[in-house]
């Protein structure tokens, strides 16, 4: 059965994530130690014993989620399941960095430092209160694009995350996004809700962050991944390091084409998706995109045991 490893994005963070992996697997513990050293901060203490409000800050959540995903990946490897057990890797927004690290394209330390910079740059790109995001449920991408265009009225309003057939997230200027929420309800959306986020991610307002990340990425070595990455921006496989670098920059302002990314993997023969790290959000999206898919969550020591058993058969 062809398999893909997929890696979660922001919003999946919880206090305590990855702790039992670190306790059960020395290789997983070493991930948190290396990330702490790379950042010059006991991020592991914040993840396991801190306040959720502090962990949720973009500059903390992004490297923390990557570290948790990589701890799970190292635990799998300790049990004999390596990256070549997957045909593809993919990640939702910051999860793309986790995917690239898992596939050996980025070092763990470089990924941690890049995500700290990315988090800070995205937070600083737009003053608090100027931007917003909203989830529109029950409208497809074309319908959301029409709503966004009508709501803009000179503001930026764009489809930011095309998550699954019934969920598209929009991003942009707060007033424009609020207009879009009202228009979406009038257009037949099942729900249209403002999201509790600190900045309008994945839209043109993030251009200052894209420029900052272009500079940061220029100083980092990117290797050819062991298995192809399904890019957020193109929803297609990529392995060339220079193309990966350009796409990571473009991803800051570009939409996360998750629905199309999952469909591309299904079309390439993937039948089983393992969500590596915190939460289960991507698994739910995969099921809504392709109901016959088999999904598995790998976020705790017990999940590693179950995954190993599933491969024996």
Distance from chain centroid for Cα 296 = 17
Residue of 202, 261, 283, 290 marked catalytic? 202
- Give one DSSP letter per residue of 249-279, joined into a string: HHHHHS-B-HHHHHHHHHHTTEEEEEEESS-
Q: Half-sphere exposure of residue 177, counting CA atoms within 13 Å on the CB side?
A: 28
Please, which residues bridge with residue 152 across strands?
Answer: none
Residue of 93, 171, 198, 231 marked catalytic? 93
- Residue 91 in contact with residue 6, Cβ under 8 Å? yes
131 SS3 class: strand
Active site residue 231: no
- Give one DSSP letter per residue of 165-193, joined into a string: TTEEEEEEEHHHHHHHHHHHHHTT-SEEE
Torsion of CA 11, 28, 81, 307, to 10 degrees: -60
Q: Which two tokens stand for residue 268?
A: 């390439």
Could you give phi then psi for residue 44, rounded to 5 degrees? -60, -40
- Among candidate residues 60, 82, 92, 120, the one with its CA nearest the CA of residue 202: 92
Q: How large is the greatest C-alpha to C-alpha distance in the chain, in angstroms?
A: 58
Active site residue 202: yes
CA distance linking residue 107 with residue 110, whole number of Å = 5
- Among candidate residues 305, 297, 306, the one with its CA nearest the CA of residue 276: 297
Please, which residues bridge with residue 7 across strands?
Answer: 91
CA distance linking residue 180 with residue 157, whole number of Å = 8
Could you give phi then psi for residue 70, rounded to 5 degrees? -70, -30
Query: Which residues carry out catalysis?
Result: 93, 202
């Amino acid at each position: 059965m062809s398999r893909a490893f997929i890696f979660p994005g922001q919003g999946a963070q919880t206090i305590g994530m990855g702790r039992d992996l670190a306790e059960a697997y020395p290789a997983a513990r070493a991930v948190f130690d290396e990330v702490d050293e790379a950042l010059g901060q006991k991020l592991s203490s914040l993840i396991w014993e801190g306040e959720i409000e502090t962990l949720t800050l973009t500059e903390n959540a992004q490297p923390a989620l990557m570290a948790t995903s990589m701890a799970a990946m190292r635990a799998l490897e300790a049990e004999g399941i390596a990256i070549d057990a997957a045909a593809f890797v993919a990640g939702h927004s910051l999860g793309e960095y986790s995917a690239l690290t898992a596939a050996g394209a980025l070092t763990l330390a470089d990924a941690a430092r890049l995500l700290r910079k990315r988090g800070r740059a995205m937070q600083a790109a737009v003053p608090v209160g100027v931007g917003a995001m909203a989830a529109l449920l029950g409208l497809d991408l074309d319908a959301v694009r029409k709503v966004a265009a009508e709501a803009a009225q000179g503001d930026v309003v764009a489809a930011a995350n095309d998550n699954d057939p019934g969920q598209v997230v929009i991003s942009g200027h707060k007033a424009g996004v609020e207009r879009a929420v009202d228009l979406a309800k009038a257009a037949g959306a099942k729900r249209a809700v403002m999201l509790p986020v600190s900045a309008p991610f994945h839209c043109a307002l993030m251009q200052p962050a894209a420029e900052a990340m272009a500079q940061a990425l220029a100083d980092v070595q990117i290797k050819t991944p062991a298995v192809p990455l399904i890019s957020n921006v193109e929803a297609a496989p990529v392995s060339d390091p220079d193309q990966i670098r350009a796409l990571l920059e473009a991803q800051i302002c570009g939409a996360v084409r998750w629905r199309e990314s999952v469909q591309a993997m299904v079309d390439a023969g993937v039948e089983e998706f393992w969500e590596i790290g915190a939460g289960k959000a991507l698994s739910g999206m995969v099921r809504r995109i392709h109901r016959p898919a088999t999904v598995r969550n790998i976020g705790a020591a017990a999940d590693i045991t179950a995954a190993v058993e599933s491969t024996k058969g």
